[in-house]
Amino acid sequence: MEPRRSIEATGESIQEAIDKGLAALGAAPNEVIVEVLEEPSRGVFGIGARPARVRLQVLITRPPAPPPAPPAPPPAPTAQSEKTERKPREHSEHKEPREQKARAERRERRAERPPRQERAPRPPADELLEDHEDDEALPLTDAGPDVDEAELDDDVKVAREVLMQLLQKMSVRAQISVRRVETTRESGRENEAAPWLLNVTGHELNPLIGRRGETLAALQYVTRLISSRQLQHRANIIVDVDGYKSRRSQLLRGLALRMAEQAVQQKRTVALEPMPPHERRIIHLTLRDHAQVSTRSVGEGEGRKVTIVPK
């Protein structure tokens, strides 16, 4: 069927009439000649109104699209293609024996290698710090005077340097004095070497102590941990801040004696408030040789406390 080469169209405006004609012809604006046959008129009060009328003549006729080409037949199989198709099949058939052979060869090579020289295992930090809380129960009020630099051993020198670096990283300006704690029979460690006491002094050091000495305990633990790693044995040191542990130790010993007297007078068991292990140990050591009372620890975890029982 021969396509239409011209058409007349109408619309409220000339552009609307042209658009309608282009749509009917399926042509682009540059493919037609537009002839305006009649201008649009609105009339008077709507009477005598007429639309615009145009004629569109096609200049270029689009050639019909060629029919789709039939699909090409598959190529005939050749010797090379058959060889390529057979190759994966053959590879899969021989893959498992080849992998087994390669694994066996690797095992043989490993067996021929000389044994690796093993390093001596380093002791874990927990072993280096075993019984680290026992020193807390020593009578710190019996600590001697500050020790001269010439009398310090490697343990306290390393620990003091570690503690100073920790304080610097915490932006704490302070001094560290060194004393020796005397071990007596009351401490239960009279046959052991006396630990070193590193006392931190300065201004506004309460944040280093924390609630019930929790921050101070953490500072001492980290100092001991790093020092023990460097020394490769347990660092025999105690860390204190402005004599807090000395004062606390003295208060606990006075408390133990008062509560023991109360337990004897009232003839009933007296329970103290929950305490950390090293503070409970101070109570036990203080009343260890008391003639009228004995002590026991009861409870679990942070709620564990000391009871004073009349004999």
Give the CB-side neighbour count of residue 32, counting CA atoms within 13 A.
25
Distance CA 258, CA 264 (A): 10
Q: Would residue 100 count as lying in a domain?
A: no
Give the CATH number for residue 180: 3.30.300.20
> What is the per-residue pLDDT across 161-215, written as a single tens digit (0 to 9) for each?
999 999 999 999 999 999 988 765 555 555 567 899 999 999 889 999 998 888 9
Do residues 143 and 237 both lie within one domain?
yes
How remote is the C-alpha of 213 from its chain's centroid? 27
> Considering the domain boundaries, does residue 189 fall inside one?
yes
218 lies in the same domain as 170: yes
Residue 89 maps to a domain: no
The pLDDT, as a whole number, for residue 1 is 41
- Say yes or no: 198 and 294 in one domain: no
Claim to verify: residue 53 and residue 129 sit in the same structural domain: no
Query: How do 305-310 and 293-298 pair as beta strands?
Result: antiparallel
- Residue 74: its pLDDT value, please? 63
Q: Are residues 171 and 237 in the same domain?
A: yes
Q: Are residues 252 and 232 in the same domain?
A: no
Distance (Å, rounded) from C-alpha 51 to C-alpha 207?
Answer: 94
What integer pLDDT is reported at residue 120 of this predicted model?
42
**What torsion do the CA atoms of 35, 38, 40, 45 make, to the nearest 10 degrees?**
180
C-alpha distances out from residue 75 to 19, 26, 46, Å: 51, 42, 75
Q: Are residues 139 and 210 in the same domain?
A: yes
Residues 217 and 161 in one domain: yes
Residue type, 256: A
Q: Are residues 216 and 232 in the same domain?
A: yes
Both tokens of 148, joined, read 């001269």
pLDDT of 125:
43
pLDDT of residue 172: 92
Domain assignment present for 86: no
Which regions of the chain are under pLDDT 50? Answer: 1-2, 90-91, 118-134
Task: Please indicate, yes or no, whether residues 208 and 281 belong to a single structural domain of this protein.
Answer: no
pLDDT digit string, tens, across residues 49-77: 788 888 888 875 555 556 666 666 666 65
Q: Are residues 160 and 230 in the same domain?
A: yes
Tokens 């300006």 map to which residue? 173
Same domain, 276 and 221: no
For position 72, what pLDDT does the model report?
A: 63
CATH no. for residue 21? 3.30.30
pLDDT value of position 42: 74
**199, 225, 242 — which closes off a domain?**
242
pLDDT value at residue 307: 95
The type of residue at 95 is K
Residue pair 39/52 in contact by the 8 Å Cβ criterion: yes
Number of domains, the chain: 3
Q: Which residue bears the tokens 């019996």?
A: 142
**Residue 27 belongs to what domain range?**
6-58
Q: Is 299 a domain residue?
A: yes
Domain boundary among 58, 73, 88: 58
Instruction: Determine contact, residues 155/194, Cβ cutoff 8 Å.
Output: no
Domain boundary among 211, 242, 273: 242
Can you give the pLDDT at residue 188?
52
Q: Which of 219, 199, 223 is nearest to 209 (CA)?
A: 219
Q: What is the pLDDT of residue 2?
A: 46
pLDDT of 127: 40
Is 80 part of any domain?
no
Question: What distance separates the 2 farthest-apart alpha carbons in the chain?
Answer: 133
